[in-house]
A and B are shown apart, each in its own frame.
Chain A
Amino acid sequence: MRIVAEHLSYTYNPGSPFASAALRDVSLTIEEGEFFGIIGHTGSGKSTFVQHLNGLLRLPSSQKHYRPKRLKKGQAPPPATVLTVGDFDLTDKKTNFRALRKSVGMVFQYPEYQLFAETVRDDVAFGLKNFSKEKLSDAAIDEAVRAAVEVVGLDYEELKDKSPFELSGGQKRRVAIAGVIVTRPEVLVLDEPAAGLDPLGKREVMELLHKLHREWCKTVVIVSHDMDEISENCTRAAVFADGTVRYVLPPRELFRHAQELTELGLDVPLTAKLTALLQEDGIVVDSDFTTADFCEKVLALWKKRKEGAQ
């Protein structure tokens, strides 16, 4: 499913002293099959944007406050907001939001804090039961839950009757992700999926997401403030700042804007920093800024120099 947003704006608590514009005229297209990254500083509007994608924040109410009631003479009407996910038109109140939520899985920050059921099996089955129109047989539930739990890398037989609260932090997060993907959504959106994990845990989660992207969900969108995470994993990334989209580029090109990124309070990935430092010494490394590729290129250069010296 293709995600198209045009001229999307959103204000929290409109018309009160707490009012804050979270999105201003955001236009962004995410193609089917992408592993898309959304990066921005805290409060840049990135989480607000993704919450629109499955209708948790609704458009009509936000638009009402954004558009001026009466237009001044000669003033052009503001461009119409467009927000579609596949065939779902989210600007339409009559859209079937349940069906939308079934096709757009949303994993929030610290998803392990949403676990509630007595057993892992029940918790993962929660979404499945909610979204199915008729009552599912136990066997059908078992089969779907087993597949979801196994794809996130856990042992179903061992865990199914355990309480989700007995698990380790990493296991909890995996169970929570399983609880979202169990309905086989076409688009999977994750808000800071690696937040609060150690480096190894981060890498494992990212590997899991790539696996899901290959085998399970066509499109994956991750929200993050960690440049390394985005540059290592995404096909394209959008930079959010102050509720607007600054750039939408493949990571490799994104980091040519290193200075602006730093000004927006975002870090550039380690590889980009090293490239810049090496460039000062006249060493040009032409990598795609992923750690693996960077190391390979640098090692190749190193060997060449060594041979040259001999």
Chain B
Amino acid sequence: MKDVSFGQFYPVDSFVHRLDPRLKIVFLIAYIVAIFLASNFYGLAACAAVLLLIMIAARIPFGKVLRAVRAVTFLVLFTTALNVLFYKGETVYWTWKIFCVSFEGIIFSVFLALRLVLLVICSSMLTYTTTPVSLTDGVESLLTPLKWIRIPVHALALVMSIALRMIPVLMDETARIKNAQMARGADFESGNLVKRVKATIPILVPLLLSALRRADELGDAMDARCYTGGNHRTKYKKLRFTWRDLVAFLLVAALIGGVVAMKILLPAPY
């Protein structure tokens, strides 16, 4: 319960926070493309440098970023271990049955692990610096073309923003119910797996009921204010591009250009 802040908005005012959410989403996609285009360590180093720059510009503390990485530690270690053991390289150090540890294998796994870590960090940067509301605004705006083929983009965006908005509310609710049951002597920390799963019932039932109740009330409240959906709605905050967005655009464009150039010009030893 203590790690709820993973992926949540981090409220400071910074260059990155003020960027247009649409661009931030596009940049994230572009950045991920860049990570996968990078075929050698030079390319990844460039990506990492840009990410570091973004982190500093966003004024997100380093510990916060590490916390996002910590959530995927197991995944990274697991894939790395698999790669090290199964990659068929040429400079073999050790083999046993189907396992084989080679120089190329180690290099390859480190490379993949770095990619994964960069991927997680850059995605978390988006959610750390963008409020759920502007994130949905951005998604809705980017998905506008889908409206032309009659996909209810606005409704989908609304669903997404309500879901995001409800996460902290339900987290609070969970903490409250957990406290109430702990005050009645519930024990969530000891016993075997079956016992622990059973112990969550006194939390899950009230939580589900409260989620349903909230959904119901929210629906009523929206009805009461005559909410009918996306047509003819105007926005309180219009999204606008500014000089910041231009700077960020140039940076990302330079990164992709650089990575592609390095791919062609610097045939890496590995």
A and B: interacting chains: yes
Q: How far is the CA of A205 from the CA of B203 in the complex (A)?
A: 26
Instruction: Report A167-199 CB contacts with B as 1/0, cut-off 8 Å.
Output: 000000000000110010000000000000000
Residue of A nearest to B10 (CB): A17
Cα A126 to Cα B176 in complex, Å, equals 17
| B10 CB contacts on chain A under 8 angstroms | 17
A51 is an interface residue with CB less than 8 A from chain B: yes
Tell me if A302 counts as interface (CB < 8 A to partner B): no
- Collect the chain A residues with CB atoms within 8 Å of residue B183's CB: 54, 56, 101, 105-106, 108, 180
Alpha-carbon distance between A126 and B187 when the two chains are bound, in angstroms: 11
Using CB atoms, name the residue of chain B closest to A57.
Answer: B179
**Which chain A residue shows the least CB distance to B204?**
A116
Given known A108-B176, A116-B205, contact A56–B182 (CB-CB < 8 A): yes
A17 to chain B, nearest CB (A): 6
Q: Is B167 at the interface (CB under 8 A from chain A)?
A: no
Give the nearest-CB partner of B203 in chain A: A116
User: Is A95 an interface residue when CB atoms closer than 8 A count as contact?
Assistant: no
The A254-294 residues at the B interface (CB cut-off 8 A) are: none
CB proximity of B237 to chain A, nearest CB, Å: 22
Q: How far is the CA of A108 from the CA of B179 in the complex (A)?
A: 9
Of the residues B181, B185, B210, contact of A102 by C-beta under 8 Å: B185
Q: Verify if A247 is at the interface (C-beta below 8 Å from B).
A: no
The reply to whether B179 and A56 form a contact with Cβ atoms under 8 Å apart is: yes
Q: How far is the CA of A116 from the CA of B199 in the complex (A)?
A: 12
Does B159 sit at the interface, judged by CB under 8 A? Answer: no
Say yes or no: A127 contacts B185, CB within 8 Å.
yes
Q: List, in ascending order, chain A residues with CB within 8 A of B265's CB.
A: none
B184 and A17 contact, CB distance less than 8 A? no
Those of B165-194 within 8 Å (CB) of chain A: 176-177, 179-187
Asked whether A17 and B176 contact (CB < 8 A) given A98-B185, A130-B187, the answer is: no
Interface centre among A51, A56, A179, by most B CB within 10 Å?
Answer: A56
Contact A116 B206 (CB under 8 A): yes
A126-156 with Cβ < 8 A to chain B: 126-127, 130-131
Indicate if the CB atoms of B184 and A111 lie closer than 8 Å: no
Chain A residues with a Cβ closer than 8 Å to the other chain, count:
25
Number of interface residues of B (CB under 8 A): 22
Closest to B64 in A: A16
A113→B178 CA distance, assembly (Å): 11
Q: Do A17 and B180 contact each other (CB < 8 Å), given the known contacts A114-B206, A130-B187?
A: no
Chain A residue contacts of B203, Cβ below 8 A: 116
Known interface pairs A17-B10, A116-B202. Does A111 touch B185 (Cβ–Cβ under 8 Å)? Answer: no
Is the CB–CB distance between B210 and A113 below 8 Å?
yes
B12 within 8 A of A: yes
Query: Does B197 make an interface contact (CB < 8 A)?
Result: no
Are B206 and A130 touching (Cβ within 8 A)?
A: no
Chain A residues closer than 8 Å to B180, beta-carbon distance: 106, 108, 111, 114
Does A115 touch B at the CB level, under 8 Å?
yes
B-chain residues with CB within 8 Å of residue A117 when the two chains form the complex: 202
Q: Are the CB atoms of B184 and A127 closer together than 8 Å?
A: yes
> Hey, which chain B residues are within 8 Å of A108, CB to CB?
176, 179-180, 183
In contact, A101 and B185 (Cβ under 8 angstroms):
yes
B176 to A, closest residue via Cβ: A108
* B177 adjacent to A113 (CB under 8 Å): yes
| Known contacts A17-B10, A17-B11, A126-B202; A114 and B177 CB within 8 A of each other | yes
In the complex formed, the residue of A with least CB distance to B181 is A114
Residues of B within 8 A of A183 (CB): 185
Distance of A280 Cα from B29 Cα, bound (Å): 72
Bound-state CA distance A106–B210 (Å) is 20
- B185–A116 touching, CB < 8 Å: no
> For window 86-127 of chain B, which residues contact chain A by CB distance below 8 Å?
none
- B264 beta carbon closer than 8 Å to chain A: no
B39 to chain A, nearest CB (A): 39
- Which chain B positions have C-beta within 8 A of A106? 180, 183
CB of A201, distance to nearest CB on chain B (Å): 19
Interface residues as binary, A63-87 with B (CB distance below 8 Å gives 1, 0 otherwise)? 0000000000000000000000000
Is B201 interfacial (CB-CB < 8 Å)?
yes
7 of the cross-chain contacts (CB-CB < 8 Å) are A17-B10, A56-B182, A98-B185, A101-B184, A108-B179, A114-B206, A126-B184
A residues within 8 Å of B by Cβ? 16-17, 51, 54, 56, 98, 101-102, 105-106, 108, 111, 113-117, 126-127, 130-131, 165, 179-180, 183
Which B positions have Cβ atoms within 8 angstroms of A? 5, 10-12, 176-177, 179-187, 201-203, 205-206, 209-210
Given A106-B183, A130-B184, 14 more A-B residue pairs with CB atoms under 8 Å apart are A16-B5, A56-B183, A98-B187, A101-B182, A101-B183, A105-B183, A108-B176, A108-B179, A113-B209, A114-B180, A115-B206, A126-B202, A127-B184, A165-B209
